[in-house]
Amino acid sequence: MAEARRPIRVLVVDDSAVMRKLLPIVLQHDPDVEVVATAVNGVVGLRKLAQFRPDVVTLDLEMPGMDGLEVLREIVTQDGTPVIVVSAHTAEDAALTAAALSTGAVDVVAKPRSDQPGGLESLSRELRSKLYAVAGRRLRRLQSPPVSACAPAKAIPGIAATRVVAVAASTGGPAALAHLLPGLPVDLAAAVVVVQHMPEGFTGMLAARLDQTCPLRVEEARDGDRLQHGRVLIARGGRHLRVRAAAGGPVALFGAGPPVAGHRPSADVLFESVAAAFGPQCIGVVLTGMGEDGAAGLLAVHQARGFTIVQDEDSSVVFGMPRAAVARGAADQVLPIERIAESIVAAVRRKAQREPAPTPLGLPAGPQGEDP
């Protein structure tokens, strides 16, 4: 007889009595999830973390005394339990959330607004899906970021992009981006466009946070923005991002439209537009994340004779998106996050010089992954 699966054990850390009651309520009808304890502040949260050994921690960031960021740093460096931030829709909370995600929190769910129809049901679905995705993972600390992150000399965009690096990420993505982007040099001869699955209202602060440590300019995309060498554009939450050829150089364009692969912005949408606009002069990268968004689009990049990179399982918080891309035969390389920046730089150089790509990892030599 098969042994019954143990429920996912959750610790809720929040100074709000409302949230300490609400989160157990929205999760109580799921037999695969159990809230084992709640904590009123960070000090109590760390004590209960040691006492109850939960599979996942949900964490508020604005707490008196030891705030959420301090708690998060302790968990990331000492414990490795996955942390999901529960954040409000305010500018201050968005800034704190961006800092937390870059520090090592695996994902964020937004607290429901009082004027939001179906807010509790949406919160329940989103939180449960993220609990399922990260439970059982023990987070490993990344190696120190590249030296260039310490005192970045900013690139000065201006050259219309002739090459583009498109990056997709979801759960665990902000921390991966915080490691990857500082490793790209100031003279990178390509534009960079990024889809990071986040709630609407948080991507601007993520871009601002990443811009502080990156040699390249990092900005939240605006409709009609020019793609330029030395510039990174982060897709805005709640809007699809596509790139198109235009007089004077390629541009970024917003679109509403329904979610694709369950997401808006969708990596598939971005990748397919990049493949169409840049052909073999594009590089696609799929980082950590749950689901399958980006797999079909990365295959389009691969078939356009671009070059494709996928984050490996060991360094991914969730291997869902990377696994789906590998399963479709879309990956030319599968690498730990620490090696992806150098691979991007080498691919950009090859494309600028029209050199052939290396033999795809795990695949026979042949035309796939080669530049013209």
The predicted structure's pLDDT at residue 110: 86
The predicted structure's pLDDT at residue 364: 37
The predicted structure's pLDDT at residue 360: 52
The predicted structure's pLDDT at residue 148: 45
The yes-or-no answer on residue 240 being catalytic is: no
The yes-or-no answer on residue 268 being catalytic is: no
The predicted structure's pLDDT at residue 136: 82
Number of structural domains found in the chain: 2
Same domain, 41 and 102: yes
Q: In the chain, which residues have pLDDT < 50?
A: 1-2, 147-151, 361-372
Same domain, 73 and 156: no
134, 158, 191 — which closes off a domain? Answer: 134
Is 2 part of any domain?
Answer: no
- Kindly calculate the radius of gyration of the chain based on its CA atoms and give it in whole angstroms: 20
Is 1 part of any domain?
Answer: no
Same domain, 86 and 130: yes
91, 106, 134 — which closes off a domain? Answer: 134
Same domain, 70 and 44: yes
The yes-or-no answer on residue 29 being catalytic is: no
Is 371 part of any domain?
Answer: no
Is 370 part of any domain?
Answer: no
Residue from 14, 93, 268, 293 carrying the catalytic annotation: 293
Same domain, 338 and 234: yes
Domain of 264?
150-353
Residue from 14, 87, 107, 197 carrying the catalytic annotation: 197
Same domain, 161 and 56: no
CATH number at residue 189: 3.40.50.180
Residue from 124, 170, 273, 316 carrying the catalytic annotation: 170
Spell out the SS3 assignment of the chain: CCCCCCCEEEEEECCCHHHHHHHHHHHCCCCCEEEEEEECCHHHHHHHHHHHCCCEEEECCCCCCCCHHHHHHHHHHHCCCCEEEEECCCHHHHHHHHHHHHHCCCEEEECCCCCCCCHHHHHHHHHHHHHHHHCCCCCCCCCCCCHHHCCCCCCCCCCECCCEEEEEECCCHHHHHHHHHHHCCCCCCCEEEEEECCCCCCHHHHHHHHHCCCCCEEEECCCCCECECCEEEECCCCCEEEEECCCCCCEEEEECCCCECCECCCHHHHHHHHHHHHHHHEEEEECCCCCCCCHHHHHHHHHCCCEEEEECCCCCCCCHHHHHHHHCCCCCEEECHHHHHHHHHHHHHHHHHCCCCCCCCCCCCCCCCCCC
Q: In this predicted model, what pLDDT tens digit does every residue of 71-125 receive, in sequence order?
A: 999 998 888 899 999 988 677 788 889 999 988 899 999 888 766 667 788 889 9
Same domain, 25 and 119: yes
Is 361 part of any domain?
Answer: no
Is 143 part of any domain?
Answer: no
Is 245 part of any domain?
Answer: yes
Same domain, 230 and 343: yes
Is 359 part of any domain?
Answer: no
